[in-house]
Amino acid sequence: MNLAKTVIYVVDDDADDRYFLRKSFQESDPSVTIVEAEDGGHLLAMLDTWSQGVTPPPVHLILLDMNMPKVNGLEALTAIKANPILRHIPTVMISTSAEPAQVAQAYENGINSYIQKPSSSFNLDLIVQAIKVCFLDAAVG
């Protein structure tokens, strides 16, 4: 499978977590483009520039951390799913938190999948492969 022209937004306040996600996706396919944001507010500002026009934004998937300063993942998710131009974008929460109430709240607000961050790069690679199969192969392939 080739992820050519696939654009993934990785939103996390932890630069190391963004790095490891970017590395795992790009090792899987060097042609994938990763756009990084350090919080939900930064993501929403980037997406807003495209949602002002009628064309869909150049993004195939958004990976959101739950716990971030300023605008957290749940707040960003709620804004994305409330926007008719953006709501179709698959959005995956990938967070250290697996508290049932937070997970339930994310699903109630339209998250497509909720994944707990793995503790090893091997498990991260497995998660990236699963994300590709579930959200990118059919949409981009």
The rounded distance, in Å, linking the Cα atoms of 105 and 49 is 27
Residue type, 51: S
Task: Show the domains of the chain with their CATH numbers.
Answer: 7-140 (3.40.50.2300)
Please write the tens of the pLDDT for every residue from 37-69: 999 999 999 888 766 665 656 789 999 999 999
Q: Among 34, 12, 39, which Cα is nearest to 23's? A: 34
> Each residue of 3-38: pLDDT tens digit?
448 899 999 999 999 999 999 999 998 889 999 999
Helical segments of the chain, H only: 15-28, 40-51, 73-82, 100-108, 121-131, 137-140
Tokens of 67: 């716990």
pLDDT in tens, 82-118: 998 899 999 999 999 899 999 999 999 999 999 999 9
